[in-house]
Structure 1
Amino acid sequence: MEYLLELASSPTAWVALITLVIMEVVLGIDNLIFISILTNKLPKEIQAKARRIGISMALILRLGLLSTVAYIVQLTEPVFSVLDHWFSWKDVILIAGGLFLLWKATKEIHHTVDPVEQEEAKIGDKVSMSFASAIGQILVLDLVFSIDSIITAVGMTEHLPIMIIAVVSAVIVMLVAAEPLAKFINDNPTVVMLALGFLIMIGMTLIAEGFGAHVPKGYIYAAMAFSATIEGLNMLSRRAKQRKIAASREA
């Protein structure tokens, strides 16, 4: 109890908490985009349930990993080498997760742009994705993003209560944002392609980091913000044209 009171009265601890909450929320965006795209392929009546389960599993995984912080830190230690380059278990997990993201995003883009499959996709795409399959794929990426999230948290503070509060806060934000984000993505087909592009970029970043090439997260999220801003302007332009056409028809 004294330890918690000491943390609560420490300005340094509060700064660390606020910084870590922001970092965890930003890292959770990647996870949330993937969950939104994947669950939108399910039948409408179970989409919300799948999103809640996916985000709940992310919380359980993160808290579970926090309970084994000492072991998680060891994941960064080199365990084997290939062509004189040493890899840790964290590297292996990041590379595997990045490859999975690349495969999944490429497959979704193919389904979107292939004219031969368009009609079949309209009828059977949501049926082809079973609930168990969606949850399984979400669980795989939850694990990858959770390990990245916890290692980031461990690198920023040594206080477990701060890590727990930051992780729980980030997951609460994900729960609140899940429905609006999924609806927005579903209602705007061009945003789906942009989000899939984000997943490819994130996948490549995970693979690069797995091979030891550190990519500053600020560059990634700046590129995502810039792309989202351009897409937002395109959406406003299209809506303005649609209103103009509708007004001319009424006249």
Structure 2
Amino acid sequence: MLVLLQAVLGFDNLLYISIESKRVPVERQAYVRRLGIALAIILRIVLLFVLVQAIQYFQDPFLKLDYQGVIKISANVHSFIVLFGGAFIIYTAVKEIFHMLAVDDLAHSDGATRSVASAIIWIVAMNLIFSFDSILSAMALTEVFWVMATAIVISGVMMIWLSDHVAEFLNKNRMYEVLGLFILFIVGILLVSEGGHLAHLALFGFPIEPMAKSTFYFVIFVLVLVDLVQGRYQRKLTMQKTRSVETTSS
């Protein structure tokens, strides 16, 4: 059960890893993905140990602000990390989408823009941000440390294996990159809303409500469905246009 939980909650992480690894030279991308996830597994176990021993310190607020009804917040470490992580994921997704629209040659748009060390650091950092919810969910199911640690290791090995397949699929099917980026964008919104709720964030008197997981998965389902239907319809239009040109020329 814990392994399944870790795997399900780690899917969005795979999308980020695939996107981040594309910023290094092609021959180093697999290395970046595998080492980044391996280091993240170790740090996840460390984080698990810290949370088990000092969960209260992560729940105590360290930032309180109430500015004349404009903004109100009472953030702890957990909520701050989730909020920051969600905002960064939204920024990454939007940046990549605009990059895809701006470049003239998509075939040569994936040049190395980040060093191997930098990419690994970002993969590890974002992996830890994604880890908070999965670790806290695991702690709600069991209090046995070695059981949770084993689930983290198994799910991490699965992620190492799946990361190459996800990256390879996106490289071979570039049309699904946009879908992946918008899924990542929705993940960012989910994290921001959840982090804002945990931080008791209110803007102009309106409290931030977390996005329900059912809503999140429904939105993802609709995105995938629209993309599949649009793809098939586009292929039909292309075939029809090709036949029309052939008929006219003959």
Does the pair score TM above 0.5?
A: yes
- Per-residue CA deviations over 1:93-144 (Å, capped at 9, x if unaligned) read 1111111111111111111012xx334x754642223222221221221121
Residue 118 (structure 1) aligned to one of 101, 104, 119: 104
Q: Is the 8 A contact 1:95 1:207 kept in 2?
A: yes
Q: What's the counterpart of residue 9 of structure 1? A: none
Hey, what's the Cα distance between the residues in 2 that align with 1:110 and 1:170?
A: 33
Q: What's the counterpart of residue 222 of structure 1? A: 218
TM-score normalised per structure 2: 0.80
Calculate percent identity across the aligned residue pairs.
32
Unaligned runs of 5+ in 2: 67-71, 198-208
Hey, what's the Cα distance between the residues in 2 that align with 1:233 and 1:170?
A: 32
Q: What's the counterpart of residue 107 of structure 1? A: 95
Q: Is the 8 A contact 1:61 1:146 kept in 2?
A: no
The 3-state SS of whatever aligns with 1:129 is coil
Q: Rate the CA distance shift 1:47–1:244 in 2: closer, same or farther, 3 A.
A: farther
Unaligned runs of 5+ in 1: 1-17
The reply on whether 1:82 has 2:65 as its aligned counterpart is: yes
Q: Is the 8 A contact 1:98 1:207 kept in 2?
A: yes
Residue 149 (structure 1) aligned to one of 134, 140, 144: 134
The 3-state SS of whatever aligns with 2:34 is helix
Hey, what's the Cα distance between the residues in 1 that align with 2:148 and 2:138?
A: 6
Q: What's the counterpart of residue 4 of structure 1? A: none
Hey, what's the Cα distance between the residues in 1 that align with 2:128 and 2:181?
A: 20
TM-score normalised per structure 1: 0.79
Hey, what's the Cα distance between the residues in 2 that align with 1:78 and 1:92?
A: 10
Higher helix share: 1
Correspondence list, 1:159-238, <5 A: 159-212=144-197, 213-235=209-231
Hey, what's the Cα distance between the residues in 2 that align with 1:45 and 1:53?
A: 14
The reply on whether 1:97 has 2:85 as its aligned counterpart is: yes
Q: Rate the CA distance shift 1:41–1:244 in 2: closer, same or farther, 3 A.
A: farther
Hey, what's the Cα distance between the residues in 2 that align with 1:172 and 1:242?
A: 42
Hey, what's the Cα distance between the residues in 2 that align with 1:243 and 1:111?
A: 29
Question: Could you tell which deviates more after superposition, 233-242 or 175-184?
Answer: 233-242
